[in-house]
Structure 1
Amino acid sequence: MRILRAADYRVMPWKNGGGTTTEIAVSPDGAGLDDFDWRVSMARVEGSGPFSQFAGIDRTLAILEGDGIVLDIAGRPPTSVNRTTALFSFPADVPTAAKLVGGPITDLNVMTHRGRTTHSVERLAVSAPVEIRTEPGTTLILCLEGEVVIAAAEPVRLGPLDTLLVERDNASQPAQPSLLAQPAHDTTLFVIRIGGIRGND
Structure 2
Amino acid sequence: MRILRAAGYRVMPWKNGGGTTTEIAVSPDGAGLDDFDWRISMARVETSGPFSSFAGIDRTLSVLEGEGIVLDIAGQPPARLTTASVPLTFAGDVPTSAALIGGPITDLNVMIRRGRMTHGVERRPLSGEIRIMPRAETTLVLAVNAGFTLLTDDRPSLGPLDTLILDRGSPELRLQSLGQGLLFVIALDRLAANH
Report TM bin, short chain. Answer: over 0.9
Query: How far does the alpha carbon of each residue in 1:60-84 deviate from its partner, in whole angstroms, 9 at most, with x for none?
Result: 0000010100111111111111111
Give the aligned partner of residue 146 of structure 1.
146
Query: How far does the alpha carbon of each residue in 1:15-65 deviate from its partner, in whole angstroms, 9 at most, with x for none?
Result: 011110000000000000011000000000000000001111110000001
| Secondary structure of the corresponding residue to residue 33 of structure 2 | coil
Give the aligned partner of residue 189 of structure 1.
183
C-alpha distance in structure 1 between counterparts of 2:154 and 2:114, whole Å: 35
Q: Are 1:33 and 2:27 an aligned pair?
A: no
Q: How do 1:92-131 and structure 2 match up within 5 A?
A: 92-131=92-131
How far did residue 153 of structure 1 move?
5.0
C-alpha distance in structure 2 between counterparts of 1:118 and 1:40, whole Å: 13
How far did residue 87 of structure 1 move?
1.1
Identity of aligned residues (%): 60
Q: Which runs of 5+ in 2 are unaligned?
A: none
C-alpha distance in structure 1 between counterparts of 2:180 and 2:126, whole Å: 6
Deviates more, 1:68-77 or 1:146-155: 146-155
Q: Which runs of 5+ in 1 are unaligned?
A: none
RMSD: 1.2
**Aligned residues of 2:144 and 2:161 also touching (Cα < 8 A):** yes
Query: How far does the alpha carbon of each residue in 1:2-27 deviate from its partner, in whole angstroms, 9 at most, with x for none?
Result: 11000000000000111100000000
Q: Which amino acid aligns with 2:185?
A: V
| Secondary structure of the corresponding residue to residue 55 of structure 2 | coil
Decide whether aligned partners of structure 1 residues 153 and 167 sit closer, same or farther in structure 2, where only a CA change above 3 A counts: farther
Q: Are 1:11 and 2:30 an aligned pair?
A: no
Give the aligned partner of residue 60 of structure 1.
60
Q: Are 1:180 and 2:135 an aligned pair?
A: no
Could you state the TM-score of these two structures normalised by the residue count of structure 2?
Answer: 0.96
Deviates more, 1:153-162 or 1:121-130: 153-162
Q: Which amino acid aligns with 1:195?
A: D
C-alpha distance in structure 2 between counterparts of 1:93 and 1:99, whole Å: 18
**Aligned residues of 2:125 and 2:182 also touching (Cα < 8 A):** yes
How far did residue 156 of structure 1 move?
2.6
Number of positions where the alignment pairs a residue of Structure 1 with one of Structure 2: 194
How far did residue 102 of structure 1 move?
0.3
**Aligned residues of 2:126 and 2:143 also touching (Cα < 8 A):** no
Runs (4+) off by over 2 Å: 151-156
